[in-house]
Amino acid sequence: MTSTSRIEELLTRFIAHDRIALARLITMVENRADGVGVIMERVYPMAGRAVVIGITGAPGAGKSTLVNRLIAHLRQRGQRVAVLAIDPSSPFSGGAVLGDRVRMTDHYRDDAVYIRSVSSRGSHGGLSRAAREIVHVLDAFGHDVVIIETVGVGQTELGVMDLADTTVVVTVPEGGDGVQAMKAGLNEIADVFVVNKADRAGADRIKAELELEVHLRNSAGWHPPVIMTEATADRGVDALLEAIDRHAEYLAETRDPARLAERRVHEFVDIVTAEIERRTARALGDGAAPELLDRIRTGELNPYRAARELMEHPGTLVRVLATPAHTPVPGDARQQERS
Ligand SMILES: Nc1nc2c(ncn2[C@@H]2O[C@H](COP(=O)(O)OP(=O)(O)OP(=O)(O)O)[C@@H](O)[C@H]2O)c(=O)[nH]1
Ligand SMILES: [Mg+2]
Protein backbone atom coordinates (compact mmCIF):
# COMPACT_ATOMS: atom_id res chain seq x y z
CA MET A 1 0.00 0.00 0.00
CA THR A 2 1.24 3.44 -0.90
CA SER A 3 1.44 5.54 2.20
CA THR A 4 -0.21 8.91 2.55
CA SER A 5 3.12 10.66 2.97
CA ARG A 6 4.48 9.01 -0.15
CA ILE A 7 1.46 10.20 -2.16
CA GLU A 8 1.88 13.68 -0.67
CA GLU A 9 5.53 13.72 -1.66
CA LEU A 10 4.72 12.62 -5.21
CA LEU A 11 2.02 15.26 -5.56
CA THR A 12 4.34 17.98 -4.29
CA ARG A 13 6.94 16.99 -6.85
CA PHE A 14 4.25 16.75 -9.54
CA ILE A 15 3.16 20.32 -8.83
CA ALA A 16 6.81 21.37 -9.06
CA HIS A 17 6.92 19.89 -12.59
CA ASP A 18 8.98 16.83 -11.77
CA ARG A 19 8.60 14.51 -14.76
CA ILE A 20 9.58 11.46 -12.75
CA ALA A 21 6.72 12.16 -10.35
CA LEU A 22 4.45 12.56 -13.37
CA ALA A 23 5.55 9.15 -14.68
CA ARG A 24 5.03 7.50 -11.29
CA LEU A 25 1.55 8.93 -10.88
CA ILE A 26 0.58 7.69 -14.33
CA THR A 27 1.92 4.24 -13.50
CA MET A 28 -0.15 4.22 -10.32
CA VAL A 29 -3.25 5.15 -12.29
CA GLU A 30 -2.48 2.51 -14.90
CA ASN A 31 -2.04 -0.18 -12.24
CA ARG A 32 -5.05 0.99 -10.24
CA ALA A 33 -2.80 1.29 -7.22
CA ASP A 34 -4.08 2.19 -3.80
CA GLY A 35 -4.43 5.89 -3.39
CA VAL A 36 -5.45 6.61 -6.98
CA GLY A 37 -8.75 8.05 -5.78
CA VAL A 38 -6.91 10.46 -3.52
CA ILE A 39 -4.49 11.39 -6.27
CA MET A 40 -7.30 12.09 -8.73
CA GLU A 41 -9.17 14.13 -6.14
CA ARG A 42 -6.15 16.40 -5.95
CA VAL A 43 -5.27 16.36 -9.62
CA TYR A 44 -8.74 17.03 -11.04
CA PRO A 45 -9.02 20.67 -9.88
CA MET A 46 -5.69 21.42 -11.57
CA ALA A 47 -6.90 20.00 -14.89
CA GLY A 48 -9.36 21.34 -17.44
CA ARG A 49 -7.16 23.64 -19.49
CA ALA A 50 -5.71 21.28 -22.09
CA VAL A 51 -7.11 20.73 -25.55
CA VAL A 52 -7.51 17.01 -26.08
CA ILE A 53 -6.99 15.72 -29.62
CA GLY A 54 -7.78 12.12 -30.51
CA ILE A 55 -6.01 10.51 -33.45
CA THR A 56 -7.43 7.21 -34.62
CA GLY A 57 -7.52 5.10 -37.74
CA ALA A 58 -6.42 1.81 -39.23
CA PRO A 59 -3.17 0.15 -38.15
CA GLY A 60 -0.23 1.55 -40.05
CA ALA A 61 -2.15 4.53 -41.43
CA GLY A 62 0.63 6.81 -40.29
CA LYS A 63 -0.90 8.08 -37.04
CA SER A 64 2.35 8.14 -35.08
CA THR A 65 4.24 9.76 -37.93
CA LEU A 66 1.53 12.40 -38.06
CA VAL A 67 1.59 12.88 -34.29
CA ASN A 68 5.34 13.36 -34.44
CA ARG A 69 4.77 16.15 -37.00
CA LEU A 70 1.94 17.68 -35.01
CA ILE A 71 4.18 17.85 -31.96
CA ALA A 72 6.77 19.81 -33.94
CA HIS A 73 4.18 22.29 -35.20
CA LEU A 74 2.63 22.73 -31.77
CA ARG A 75 6.07 23.26 -30.24
CA GLN A 76 6.71 26.01 -32.79
CA ARG A 77 3.70 27.77 -31.32
CA GLY A 78 5.24 27.33 -27.89
CA GLN A 79 2.65 24.86 -26.69
CA ARG A 80 3.45 22.06 -24.28
CA VAL A 81 2.40 18.70 -25.66
CA ALA A 82 1.66 15.32 -24.13
CA VAL A 83 0.95 12.16 -26.10
CA LEU A 84 -0.89 9.17 -24.74
CA ALA A 85 -0.43 6.26 -27.16
CA ILE A 86 -2.75 3.35 -26.51
CA ASP A 87 -0.88 0.21 -27.47
CA PRO A 88 -3.56 -1.96 -28.98
CA SER A 89 -1.73 -5.28 -28.55
CA SER A 90 -4.11 -6.60 -31.14
CA PRO A 91 -3.21 -9.13 -33.81
CA PHE A 92 -3.34 -6.29 -36.33
CA SER A 93 -0.49 -4.34 -34.95
CA GLY A 94 2.26 -5.90 -32.92
CA GLY A 95 5.10 -3.85 -31.59
CA ALA A 96 3.27 -0.57 -31.79
CA VAL A 97 4.93 0.70 -28.65
CA LEU A 98 8.39 0.45 -30.06
CA GLY A 99 7.13 1.89 -33.36
CA ASP A 100 5.64 4.89 -31.59
CA ARG A 101 8.77 5.51 -29.60
CA VAL A 102 10.91 5.31 -32.68
CA ARG A 103 8.72 7.62 -34.71
CA MET A 104 8.43 10.21 -31.97
CA THR A 105 12.06 10.32 -30.92
CA ASP A 106 12.48 13.73 -32.54
CA HIS A 107 11.17 15.20 -29.32
CA TYR A 108 13.03 12.98 -26.92
CA ARG A 109 15.06 15.77 -25.36
CA ASP A 110 12.33 18.35 -25.29
CA ASP A 111 11.14 19.05 -21.75
CA ALA A 112 7.83 20.38 -22.98
CA VAL A 113 6.95 17.11 -24.70
CA TYR A 114 5.86 14.05 -22.79
CA ILE A 115 5.12 10.75 -24.54
CA ARG A 116 3.59 7.79 -22.82
CA SER A 117 2.30 4.45 -24.03
CA VAL A 118 -0.23 2.38 -22.13
CA SER A 119 -1.43 -1.06 -23.02
CA SER A 120 -5.06 -1.67 -23.80
CA ARG A 121 -4.56 -5.29 -22.82
CA GLY A 122 -4.48 -6.00 -19.13
CA SER A 123 -6.55 -3.02 -18.16
CA HIS A 124 -9.54 -5.38 -18.00
CA GLY A 125 -12.03 -3.13 -19.64
CA GLY A 126 -10.88 -0.31 -17.39
CA LEU A 127 -9.01 1.32 -20.25
CA SER A 128 -11.45 4.17 -20.74
CA ARG A 129 -11.29 5.07 -17.10
CA ALA A 130 -7.52 4.78 -16.84
CA ALA A 131 -7.11 6.79 -20.04
CA ARG A 132 -9.41 9.52 -18.78
CA GLU A 133 -7.49 9.74 -15.53
CA ILE A 134 -4.15 9.82 -17.32
CA VAL A 135 -5.46 12.65 -19.53
CA HIS A 136 -6.46 14.57 -16.39
CA VAL A 137 -2.96 14.01 -14.98
CA LEU A 138 -1.24 15.15 -18.20
CA ASP A 139 -3.57 18.16 -18.35
CA ALA A 140 -2.95 19.07 -14.71
CA PHE A 141 0.80 18.88 -15.25
CA GLY A 142 0.46 21.92 -17.51
CA HIS A 143 0.38 20.48 -21.02
CA ASP A 144 -1.56 22.72 -23.38
CA VAL A 145 -2.38 19.90 -25.75
CA VAL A 146 -2.91 16.23 -24.99
CA ILE A 147 -2.90 13.94 -28.03
CA ILE A 148 -4.35 10.45 -27.69
CA GLU A 149 -3.31 7.99 -30.38
CA THR A 150 -5.29 4.79 -30.71
CA VAL A 151 -5.97 2.24 -33.40
CA GLY A 152 -9.62 2.32 -34.34
CA VAL A 153 -10.11 -1.43 -34.28
CA GLY A 154 -11.83 -2.30 -31.02
CA GLN A 155 -14.74 -0.88 -29.09
CA THR A 156 -12.46 -0.22 -26.13
CA GLU A 157 -10.00 1.71 -28.23
CA LEU A 158 -12.80 3.65 -29.86
CA GLY A 159 -14.36 4.42 -26.49
CA VAL A 160 -11.22 6.32 -25.57
CA MET A 161 -12.04 8.82 -28.30
CA ASP A 162 -14.91 10.07 -26.12
CA LEU A 163 -12.21 11.86 -24.16
CA ALA A 164 -11.15 13.96 -27.13
CA ASP A 165 -12.46 17.43 -27.84
CA THR A 166 -11.53 16.88 -31.46
CA THR A 167 -11.28 13.46 -33.04
CA VAL A 168 -9.13 13.03 -36.15
CA VAL A 169 -9.73 9.89 -38.20
CA VAL A 170 -6.76 8.94 -40.37
CA THR A 171 -7.37 6.99 -43.56
CA VAL A 172 -5.05 5.98 -46.39
CA PRO A 173 -5.55 5.51 -50.13
CA GLU A 174 -4.89 1.82 -50.54
CA GLY A 175 -7.22 -1.02 -49.69
CA GLY A 176 -10.48 0.88 -50.03
CA ASP A 177 -9.79 2.27 -46.61
CA GLY A 178 -12.40 4.99 -46.91
CA VAL A 179 -15.09 2.37 -47.12
CA GLN A 180 -13.52 0.45 -44.28
CA ALA A 181 -13.47 3.52 -42.08
CA MET A 182 -17.16 4.00 -42.67
CA LYS A 183 -17.89 0.40 -41.82
CA ALA A 184 -15.94 0.60 -38.62
CA GLY A 185 -18.13 3.46 -37.53
CA LEU A 186 -15.08 5.66 -37.45
CA ASN A 187 -16.77 8.23 -39.63
CA GLU A 188 -19.38 8.82 -36.97
CA ILE A 189 -16.83 10.01 -34.49
CA ALA A 190 -14.69 12.02 -36.92
CA ASP A 191 -14.49 15.78 -36.46
CA VAL A 192 -11.68 15.92 -38.99
CA PHE A 193 -10.75 13.37 -41.65
CA VAL A 194 -7.20 12.92 -42.81
CA VAL A 195 -6.21 11.14 -45.99
CA ASN A 196 -2.59 10.37 -45.19
CA LYS A 197 -0.04 8.91 -47.63
CA ALA A 198 -1.34 11.41 -50.15
CA ASP A 199 1.78 10.58 -52.16
CA ARG A 200 0.12 7.29 -53.09
CA ALA A 201 -2.35 6.65 -55.88
CA GLY A 202 -6.03 6.92 -55.06
CA ALA A 203 -5.76 9.66 -52.44
CA ASP A 204 -8.01 12.03 -54.42
CA ARG A 205 -10.64 9.35 -54.80
CA ILE A 206 -10.72 8.64 -51.05
CA LYS A 207 -10.93 12.35 -50.35
CA ALA A 208 -13.89 12.71 -52.74
CA GLU A 209 -15.57 9.66 -51.17
CA LEU A 210 -15.21 11.04 -47.68
CA GLU A 211 -16.39 14.50 -48.74
CA LEU A 212 -19.47 12.98 -50.30
CA GLU A 213 -20.11 10.99 -47.14
CA VAL A 214 -19.83 14.16 -45.04
CA HIS A 215 -22.08 16.02 -47.47
CA LEU A 216 -24.78 13.35 -47.36
CA ARG A 217 -24.83 13.37 -43.62
CA ASN A 218 -27.23 15.82 -41.99
CA SER A 219 -26.54 19.40 -42.84
CA ALA A 220 -26.75 21.10 -39.46
CA GLY A 221 -23.71 21.68 -37.29
CA TRP A 222 -20.12 20.84 -37.94
CA HIS A 223 -18.98 19.43 -41.28
CA PRO A 224 -15.81 17.40 -40.86
CA PRO A 225 -13.23 18.68 -43.33
CA VAL A 226 -11.09 16.19 -45.25
CA ILE A 227 -7.39 17.05 -45.12
CA MET A 228 -4.72 15.48 -47.32
CA THR A 229 -1.41 14.84 -45.64
CA GLU A 230 1.90 13.21 -46.33
CA ALA A 231 3.17 12.80 -42.81
CA THR A 232 6.59 11.49 -43.80
CA ALA A 233 7.25 14.69 -45.80
CA ASP A 234 5.50 17.01 -43.31
CA ARG A 235 2.94 18.01 -45.96
CA GLY A 236 -0.55 19.09 -44.99
CA VAL A 237 0.19 19.22 -41.28
CA ASP A 238 -0.44 22.99 -41.09
CA ALA A 239 -3.80 22.49 -42.78
CA LEU A 240 -4.62 19.74 -40.30
CA LEU A 241 -3.80 21.98 -37.34
CA GLU A 242 -5.91 24.74 -38.87
CA ALA A 243 -8.84 22.33 -39.15
CA ILE A 244 -8.36 21.29 -35.53
CA ASP A 245 -8.27 24.95 -34.48
CA ARG A 246 -11.44 25.68 -36.42
CA HIS A 247 -13.17 22.78 -34.71
CA ALA A 248 -12.05 24.11 -31.32
CA GLU A 249 -13.57 27.49 -32.22
CA TYR A 250 -16.77 25.78 -33.30
CA LEU A 251 -16.88 23.94 -29.97
CA ALA A 252 -16.34 27.18 -28.06
CA GLU A 253 -19.14 28.90 -30.00
CA THR A 254 -21.62 26.08 -29.58
CA ARG A 255 -20.56 25.20 -26.06
CA ASP A 256 -23.52 23.66 -24.32
CA PRO A 257 -23.36 23.97 -20.52
CA ALA A 258 -25.95 21.20 -20.15
CA ARG A 259 -23.74 18.77 -22.07
CA LEU A 260 -20.77 19.69 -19.96
CA ALA A 261 -22.84 19.15 -16.83
CA GLU A 262 -23.97 15.75 -18.09
CA ARG A 263 -20.38 14.81 -18.82
CA ARG A 264 -19.46 15.56 -15.22
CA VAL A 265 -22.35 13.48 -13.93
CA HIS A 266 -21.38 10.64 -16.25
CA GLU A 267 -17.83 10.74 -14.93
CA PHE A 268 -19.13 10.71 -11.37
CA VAL A 269 -21.36 7.68 -12.04
CA ASP A 270 -18.40 5.86 -13.62
CA ILE A 271 -16.21 6.56 -10.63
CA VAL A 272 -18.84 5.51 -8.10
CA THR A 273 -19.65 2.30 -9.99
CA ALA A 274 -16.01 1.31 -10.26
CA GLU A 275 -15.31 2.24 -6.64
CA ILE A 276 -18.27 0.21 -5.35
CA GLU A 277 -17.15 -2.79 -7.37
CA ARG A 278 -13.63 -2.48 -6.07
CA ARG A 279 -14.61 -2.01 -2.45
CA THR A 280 -17.15 -4.81 -2.51
CA ALA A 281 -14.73 -7.29 -4.00
CA ARG A 282 -12.01 -6.34 -1.58
CA ALA A 283 -14.17 -6.17 1.55
CA LEU A 284 -15.84 -9.51 0.89
CA GLY A 285 -12.43 -11.02 0.22
CA ASP A 286 -11.12 -9.50 3.46
CA GLY A 287 -13.84 -11.08 5.57
CA ALA A 288 -16.62 -8.53 5.70
CA ALA A 289 -19.99 -10.27 6.02
CA PRO A 290 -18.48 -13.69 6.87
CA GLU A 291 -21.83 -15.20 7.89
CA LEU A 292 -23.26 -14.40 4.48
CA LEU A 293 -20.26 -15.89 2.70
CA ASP A 294 -20.47 -19.03 4.84
CA ARG A 295 -24.07 -19.56 3.87
CA ILE A 296 -23.10 -19.16 0.23
CA ARG A 297 -20.20 -21.60 0.64
CA THR A 298 -22.37 -24.32 2.14
CA GLY A 299 -24.94 -23.85 -0.59
CA GLU A 300 -27.56 -22.77 1.91
CA LEU A 301 -27.92 -19.48 0.03
CA ASN A 302 -27.70 -19.24 -3.72
CA PRO A 303 -25.54 -16.36 -4.94
CA TYR A 304 -28.47 -14.47 -6.47
CA ARG A 305 -30.50 -14.62 -3.31
CA ALA A 306 -27.40 -13.65 -1.33
CA ALA A 307 -26.78 -10.64 -3.57
CA ARG A 308 -30.35 -9.47 -3.05
CA GLU A 309 -30.09 -9.95 0.71
CA LEU A 310 -26.91 -7.90 0.75
CA MET A 311 -28.52 -5.08 -1.23
CA GLU A 312 -31.60 -5.11 0.94
CA HIS A 313 -29.69 -5.24 4.20
CA PRO A 314 -28.36 -1.71 4.58
CA GLY A 315 -26.28 -2.51 7.67
CA THR A 316 -24.18 -5.13 5.93
CA LEU A 317 -23.89 -3.12 2.75
CA VAL A 318 -22.72 -0.01 4.54
CA ARG A 319 -20.15 -2.04 6.45
CA VAL A 320 -18.86 -3.50 3.19
CA LEU A 321 -18.71 -0.18 1.36
CA ALA A 322 -17.21 1.72 4.27
CA THR A 323 -14.10 -0.43 4.17
CA PRO A 324 -11.66 2.15 2.86
CA ALA A 325 -9.97 1.23 -0.39
CA HIS A 326 -7.21 3.67 0.42
CA THR A 327 -5.83 5.77 3.21
CA PRO A 328 -7.36 9.22 3.01
CA VAL A 329 -5.08 12.21 2.82
CA PRO A 330 -5.81 14.60 5.66
CA GLY A 331 -7.11 18.03 4.70
CA ASP A 332 -7.27 19.41 1.22
CA ALA A 333 -9.67 17.50 -0.91
CA ARG A 334 -11.97 20.23 -1.98
CA GLN A 335 -10.13 23.19 -3.51
CA GLN A 336 -12.04 24.98 -6.21
CA GLU A 337 -14.17 23.05 -8.67
CA ARG A 338 -12.96 23.22 -12.23
CA SER A 339 -15.11 25.68 -14.09
N1 LIG B 1 4.32 6.81 -48.26
C2 LIG B 1 4.01 7.26 -47.07
N3 LIG B 1 4.26 6.51 -45.98
C4 LIG B 1 3.92 6.99 -44.77
C5 LIG B 1 3.28 8.25 -44.62
N6 LIG B 1 3.06 8.45 -43.30
C7 LIG B 1 3.52 7.36 -42.67
N8 LIG B 1 4.04 6.47 -43.53
C9 LIG B 1 4.66 5.17 -43.22
O10 LIG B 1 3.66 4.26 -42.79
C11 LIG B 1 4.21 3.35 -41.83
C12 LIG B 1 3.35 3.32 -40.58
O13 LIG B 1 3.46 4.56 -39.93
P14 LIG B 1 3.04 4.79 -38.42
O15 LIG B 1 3.16 6.25 -38.17
O16 LIG B 1 3.76 3.87 -37.51
O17 LIG B 1 1.53 4.35 -38.48
P18 LIG B 1 0.52 4.14 -37.24
O19 LIG B 1 -0.81 4.45 -37.78
O20 LIG B 1 0.97 4.91 -36.06
O21 LIG B 1 0.69 2.58 -36.98
P22 LIG B 1 0.13 1.75 -35.68
O23 LIG B 1 0.32 2.60 -34.47
O24 LIG B 1 0.98 0.52 -35.69
O25 LIG B 1 -1.30 1.46 -35.99
C26 LIG B 1 5.62 3.81 -41.58
O27 LIG B 1 6.49 3.02 -42.33
C28 LIG B 1 5.63 5.23 -42.05
O29 LIG B 1 6.90 5.67 -42.48
C30 LIG B 1 3.04 9.03 -45.80
O31 LIG B 1 2.49 10.14 -45.77
N32 LIG B 1 3.40 8.49 -46.99
MG1 LIG C 1 1.27 4.27 -34.06
pLDDT digits (tens, 9 = 90+) for 153-176: 677 777 788 899 999 999 999 765
Protein residues within 5 Å, CB atom, of ion ligand 2: 63-64, 100
DSSP E strand stretches across the chain: 51-57, 81-87, 113-119, 145-151, 166-171, 192-195, 226-228
Q: How confident is the model at residue 292 (pLDDT cuts 50, 70, 90)?
A: confident
What is the overall mean pLDDT for the chain? 84
Query: Is the shortest distance between the CB of 126 and ligand 1 below 6 Å?
Result: no
- In terms of average pLDDT, the best of 30-39, 216-225, 240-249 is 240-249
- pLDDT of 336 reads 35
- Asked if residue 87 has its Cβ within 6 Å of ligand 1, the reply is no
Calpha distance 182→151 (Å, rounded): 15
Could you give the angle at which helices 303-312 and 290-297 cross, rounded to 10 degrees? Answer: 160
- Residue 89: the pLDDT is 54
Ligand at minimal distance from the CA of 84 is 2
Could you tell me if the CB of 65 is within 6 A of ligand 1?
yes
| pLDDT for 227 beyond 70 | yes
This prediction has a pTM of 0.86
Ligand 1 atom 25, closest CA: 59
Q: Which of 175-184, 219-228, 306-315 has the lowest mean pLDDT?
A: 175-184
Distance CA 99, CA 46 (A): 32
Yes or no: say if 107 and 70 are a contact pair by the CB < 8 Å rule.
no
Q: For ligand 1, atom 32, name the residue with the nearest CA.
A: 197
Looking at residue 335, what DSSP letter applies? Answer: -
Of residues 282 and 204, more confidence is placed in 204
Dihedral sign, CA of 37, 39, 41, 45?
A: negative
Determine the distance separating the centroid of ligand 2 and the alpha carbon of 251, expressed in angstroms: 27
Q: Do residues 181 and 57 make contact, with C-beta atoms less than 8 angstroms apart?
A: yes
Confidence class of residue 2 from pLDDT cuts 50, 70 and 90? low
> In the predicted model, what is the mean pLDDT of residues 37-45?
94
